[in-house]
Each structure stands twice: as C-alpha cells, then as structure tokens.
Amino acid sequence: MNDKAPGTPRHVAIIMDGNGRWARERGLPRIKGHEEGANSVRAVVRASKELGISYLTLYAFSVENWVRPKAEIEGLMDLLVRYLRGNEKELHEQKIRLRAMGRLEDLREDVRNELARVSDATAAYESGTLVFALSYGGRTEIANAAKRIARQAAAGTLDPESVDEKTVAANLYLPDVPDPDLLIRTSGEMRVSNFMLWQISYAELYVSPVMWPDFREENLKQAVAEYKRRRRRFGDIA
C-alpha cells in the first residue's frame, strides 16, 4: 500500500478506562464511575455518527474483569441492561445496528436476552454499527478461532495447508466487521489490555489522558483529528 494521509476512520475501537479511578478521586463508589461512563458511551455514539464513523467498538467488560468483586460485577450487569433498555430508542432513531462479541454465554441471562432483543431489532440498520465487547479477550478469541479451524480440518472440510491469515480472520467473533483504523485508550494507560489483538495489527494508537467518565464528543473529535494528521504506511517505506 502507498503512504497516505487517512480520512475519517471507518472503524474506531475504544478501551474505556478510568471509571474506578474517577470515582475514587471523588470519594464515590466504583459503580458511580461506571454510571457516568455510560453517559460517555451515549456521547461518543452520537459523535461517531456525526463524524461519519461506520463502526464503533467499545471494550465494556473483559474476561479478566470476572475477578472483580461480585457487587461491582452485578452493578455492571444491571447498568448494561438499563443502557440497552434506555437507549434502544436512540439506536432506532439514528439507524445504528447493535452487535456484541466475546464469551456472551458467560453473561447473566437477562443481559444476554436484552442484547439479543436489541440486536435483532436493529439488525437491518446500515447507518452505523455499535459493537460491545463483553466478557471479551483477544487471546481467547484467537484460541477459539484456532479450535474452529481445527474442527474443520478434522472434519475434512478444510485443508490444513490452506490455512492463512484470511482463514483465521474468517473464524473470529465478527469476521464481517473491518479491522479498527484507530484504537483509543482513555485515562493515559499505555497498554492494549488483550483487546482485539489480531485486528489492531495496523491500527493507529491514540492515548487520551482523560478518564472515560469525562470523555465526550470533543475528545473523540480530537482523536480523529490526530488520526487524520498521520501517515499510514502499512509496512511500506516513507
């Protein structure tokens, strides 16, 4: 590929970090940080539509997060159900499709039911796609893809010698979703935290010092503006 200045990213993925610290700094329970973070989700979904971003993936809950206190996990599950019920109308108004990826079978039944219901209700929309990564881990996703490929080879429907990058990509959670162009991490942390490890191989990285509960439309616009100033070489020379 040729060196080029990118336009608006087609797919933005966000590691939403800093909810707990935001709450702690204010002397509040951790769940209050997650609740304020839900307002940031609403703001960023709206801003993504305004900017012309086609896919927005939000890292909402990782496979590692299950070690957190039970009360916090239950609060997060309750919050997710409230978000889905409270924001479904806006998804319909904006014609945005909801999808989810991860070990969804790990989630509480009412969460799974709401995800399925809203996903089905918005499945026909083409103005944008919002993806929640839930009970998600990049290594787990790749391992699961390897298992599926192994089963196909064992069944004789796939020649092991034909396995290539396209084969692996086709066996990931959402193979029809393009790889992220821009990966944003909030709260200033400098790590990818097991998020979309296969898909972000050529994503541009942007780290914001702003904690997720304070991340709003202008912060997303700043990240996209920085992305547009960069040169994407994809391994080619400058």
How many Å from the N-terminal Cα to the C-terminal Cα in the chain? 11
When mean pLDDT is compared across 2-11, 46-55, 97-106, 198-207, the lowest value belongs to: 2-11
Question: Per-residue confidence at 235, pLDDT binned at 50, 70, 90?
Answer: low
In this prediction, residues 69-74 reach a mean pLDDT of 95
Residue carrying structure tokens 């159900």: 81
65 is catalytic: yes
Question: What pLDDT sits at residue 201?
Answer: 97
Q: What is the mean pLDDT of the chain?
A: 95
pLDDT band at 2 (very low <50, low <70, confident <90, very high): very low
At 232 the pLDDT is 79
Amino acid 236: pLDDT: 66
pLDDT value for 231: 83
Which of 108, 41, 117 lies closest to 70, judged by CA?
108
**pLDDT (tens digit per residue) in 96-111:** 999 999 999 999 999 9
**Could you give the angle at the alpha carbon of 54 between the alpha carbons of 50 and 55, nearest 5°?**
115
Please determine, for residue 1, whether its predicted confidence score (pLDDT) is greater than 60. no
Residue 75 has pLDDT above 90, yes or no: yes
What is the sign of the dihedral through the CA atoms of 182, 188, 194 and 195? negative
| Strand-by-strand arrangement of the 204-207 sheet | 96-101, 128-136, 55-62, 11-15, 182-185, 204-207
- Report, at the CATH architecture level, how domain 11-137+179-229 is classified: 3-Layer(aba) Sandwich (3.40)
**Set 2, 17, 164, 214: catalytic member:** 17
Q: What is the mean pLDDT of residues 166-191?
A: 98
The domain ranges of the chain are: 11-137+179-229
- Residue 31's Cβ-side half-sphere holds a number of Cα atoms within 13 Å equal to 12
Closest alpha carbon to 43 in 217, 208, 214? 217
In this prediction, residue 238 carries a pLDDT of: 58
Q: Which of 3, 65, 78, 106 is catalytic?
A: 65
Indicate if the pLDDT at residue 5 is higher than 80.
no
Q: What is the pLDDT of residues 116-162, one digit of tens each?
A: 999 999 999 999 999 999 999 999 999 999 999 999 999 999 999 99
Beta-bridge mates of residue 160:
none
Q: What is the mean pLDDT of residues 30-42?
A: 97
Give the global pTM.
0.94
